Chains A and B, each alone.
Chain A
Amino acid sequence: GAGVSQSPSNKVTEKGKDVELRCDPISGHTALYWYRQSLGQGLEFLIYFQGNSAPDKSGLPSDRFSAERTGGSVSTLTIQRTQQEDSAVYLCASSFPDKEETQYFGPGTRLLVL
């Protein structure tokens, strides 16, 4: 079956512009996660959705970052007024919540802020 898909695969933007990153989870997966991986650094958690609600937003680095999920499926991560330090690979994962939840990751969106 289809895995997690993300779009665009690459995005180049100018400092100060807004960007939207999209994630299509695996069908039926109610949990959705956003992570980011900066160059030379590990993966860091950003936000977790269960259905359309976000019980854990603790990883969002600033109020320029927001995310929403509609219909319990597609999610959009929005970064406003992008800064150069926002350059990273943004990864989305989804899972069906059982007690030993396995997360399935998409290929990521590589964001470069000039």
Chain B
Amino acid sequence: DAKTTQPNSMESNEEEPVHLPCNHSTISGTDYIHWYRQLPSQGPEYVIHGLTSNVNNRMASLAIAEDRKSSTLILHRATLRDAAVYYCILRDQAAGNKLTFGGGTRVLVKP
């Protein structure tokens, strides 16, 4: 899977939006962009994914750059429960089904 680059950590105030950037300059045309998060002492949890168009679901929004070399996960109103490590992962179905996790971004939410 292609490599992604994320900031090590970000801080946010409760009920404010959080924008988590991810750079993936070597993305290929068949790579899907997946986001997972891992809350403390839990297994990772799927958040959202997309290919080219922006995506919204109940948890978050995913904004994908037109050239697909970067994307941003948006948490619209951070809660204390959103404190977690967020992983941006590229998946190419043709290259196998495993997820290759990088270091992720640790999000701290201040009350």
Contacts and interface: CB of A to CB of B under 8 A. Distances in A.
Interface residues on A, range: 20 to 34
B96 to A, nearest CB: 6
Interface residues on B, range: 10 to 19
B45 interface: yes
A43 B44 contact: yes
B7 interface: no
Contact of A48 (B43, B49, B97, B104): B97
B81 interface: no
A107 B91 CA distance: 23
A63 B45 CA distance: 30
Contacts of B8: none
B101 A103 contact: no
B67 to A, nearest CB: 21
A43 B101 contact: yes
Interface of B: 32, 34, 42-46, 49, 91, 93, 96-104
10 contacts: A33-B97, A35-B99, A42-B101, A45-B100, A56-B96, A100-B49, A101-B93, A102-B46, A103-B99, A107-B42
